[in-house]
A and B are shown apart, each in its own frame.
Chain A
């Protein structure tokens, strides 16, 4: 069964540095998402992306964050200047249509030092 894949599984970065989290959604999916889960807290929506543009974003997704689909397969989340509070598990998801269930990747654990 096709899966959403995320790399790396664990990223350790110094505060203030830029980080890029990578995701390969399921190949025939059209909608892409990023979520984050701070340790011990609920999964929170960050952004959804469709037709090469952001379709929805939450209050968390401020100017420090950006997303990009640089080619036909990758979907990236960039954090420009990381803060300690950005430490979390980041999940990528994709869906075929907007109203279909989202399929999640394994997540990338981001640790900011």
Chain B
């Protein structure tokens, strides 16, 4: 069964600093997708970044980047130059290559300190 684990319920970072959110997952599949979603207090989940498992290169989206370690089944999110607007709940998610079901982690609540 696929499981996604986020071991950090809460994290905080000083504005303009860098923070890394951890995510590990368990799967027997070789091809799959990984995502980070952000859920601000307004509640709508917004896609932050996506990684295809067959790609070795880590995905990057402006200040957001991932460290994808396939063998270790680790998918951490790095936020550089943190901004106040980055404060939110961050969810790591997994999806098999076949099928549409997302498996979410329990989330990490990120606080950005001015």
Contact = CB atoms under 8 A, between A and B. Distances in A.
Contacts, number: 52
A18 interface: no
A102 B97 contact: no
A10 B97 CA distance: 34
Q: For chain B, which range describes its interface: under 10, 10 to 19, 20 to 34, or 35 or more residues?
A: 20 to 34
* A interface, over-half SS: strand
Nearest to B99: A56
Contacts of A50: 100
A25 interface: no
Interface residues of A, number: 26
Given A101-B35, A101-B50, A104-B37, A45 B43 contact: no
Interface in A12-59: 31, 33, 35, 41-45, 48, 50, 55-56, 58
Nearest to A48: B100
